[in-house]
């Protein structure tokens, strides 16, 4: 008789323990993901950003939904940092691939660079936020005229600050972030008007080559260096030597429109 009582008590204890484990598992599998549902939805819509694209321009629906969901995800402190850089990346794509009107682009990228500046201030060690903030800043500057760029030295200094921050990532073996930093400096020097005395033409080639050494898969850096050879150096042979091997590549599955636009520009340089 005592053995039966002991067996029953033991069984009851195991059942209670099993029930608690099941409840915990249910919470982990179902409750936790719902806390990040907007981030997950943003990722899903962003992955479909190129669907239905025509002439290297994407329909706005998917990327617009990605932006809305990333914005909502910012409210969740657990994913706010990740949502911030993904939102900036989505702003970049929307402005470059789903917004044909220049006047709208200026307002769009002004909003993006302002938010990016706030995010970078909030998360000063995040290299993704730093990079995409600088991209939105550069795209906003592109919508301005050269005189405004020269007069606004704060933009130049801010780009250099972000670039140097990214370059320091090489010490932590983060070659992609460091490559982005050198790319930013090369692009900055390439776009600055000739009347800025502090800019050396040789520095353009140095920074872009350094970026390519660290990240050979970035077509934007290769294109920028090819443009420098063709437009500034008037060196058609260097342009061909740089671009012909690259044009044999196929656009990456996850960067279809981005890569294809770079290929289009590369082919035009070779005409």
Residue 255 lies in a domain: yes
Residue 18 lies in a domain: no
Residue 15 lies in a domain: no
CA 94 to chain centre: 12
**Looking at the predicted structure, is the pLDDT value of residue 198 above 90?**
no
Residue 254 lies in a domain: yes
pLDDT digits (tens, 9 = 90+) for 163-181: 999 999 999 999 999 999 9
**pLDDT the model gives residue 143:** 83
Average pLDDT over residues 120-126: 98
Residue 245 lies in a domain: yes
**Looking at the predicted structure, is the pLDDT value of residue 145 above 80?**
no
Instruction: Provide the domain limits for residue 235.
Output: 220-271
Average pLDDT over residues 256-261: 96
Percent of the chain with pLDDT over 70: 81
**Looking at the predicted structure, is the pLDDT value of residue 13 above 60?**
no
Nearest alpha carbon to residue 74 among 12, 122, 11, 14: 122
Instruction: Calculate the alpha carbon distances from 213 to 63, 81, 218, 223, 240 in Å.
Output: 32, 29, 10, 14, 19
**Looking at the predicted structure, is the pLDDT value of residue 4 above 60?**
no
Residue 260 lies in a domain: yes
By CB atoms closer than 10 A (0-12, 13-18, 19+), residue 191 is middle
Residue 252 lies in a domain: yes
What tokens appear for 256 in the block?
């279809």
Domain count, the chain: 1
Percent of the chain with pLDDT over 90: 68
**pLDDT the model gives residue 218:** 94
Please, what is the average pLDDT of the chain? 86
Contact 94, 70 (CB under 8 A): no
Residue 172 lies in a domain: no
């Amino acid at each position: 008789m005592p053995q039966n009582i002991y067996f029953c008590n033991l069984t009851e204890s195991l059942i209670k323990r099993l029930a608690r484990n099941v409840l915990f598992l249910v919470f982990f599998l179902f409750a936790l993901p719902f806390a990040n549902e907007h981030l997950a939805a943003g990722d899903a819509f962003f992955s479909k950003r190129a669907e239905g694209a025509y002439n290297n321009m994407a329909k706005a629906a998917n990327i617009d939904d990605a932006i809305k969901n990333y914005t909502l995800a910012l409210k969740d402190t657990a994913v706010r940092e990740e949502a911030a850089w993904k939102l900036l990346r989505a702003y970049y794509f929307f402005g470059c691939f789903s917004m044909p009107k220049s006047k709208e682009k200026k307002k769009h990228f002004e909003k993006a660079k302002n938010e990016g500046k706030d995010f970078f201030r909030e998360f000063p060690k995040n290299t993704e936020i730093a990079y995409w903030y600088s991209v939105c800043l550069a795209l906003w500057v592109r919508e301005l005229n050269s005189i405004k760029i020269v007069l606004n030295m704060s933009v130049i200094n801010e780009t250099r600050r972000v670039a140097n921050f990214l370059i320091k990532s090489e010490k932590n073996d983060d070659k992609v972030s460091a490559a982005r930093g050198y790319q930013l400096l090369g692009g900055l020097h390439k776009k600055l008007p000739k009347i800025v005395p502090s800019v050396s033409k040789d520095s353009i080639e140095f920074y872009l080559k350094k970026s390519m050494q660290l990240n050979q898969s970035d077509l934007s850096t290769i294109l920028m260096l090819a443009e420098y050879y063709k437009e500034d150096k008037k060196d058609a042979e260097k342009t061909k030597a740089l671009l012909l091997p690259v044009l044999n590549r196929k656009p990456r599955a996850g960067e279809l429109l981005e890569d294809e636009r770079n290929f289009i520009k590369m082919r035009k340089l070779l005409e």
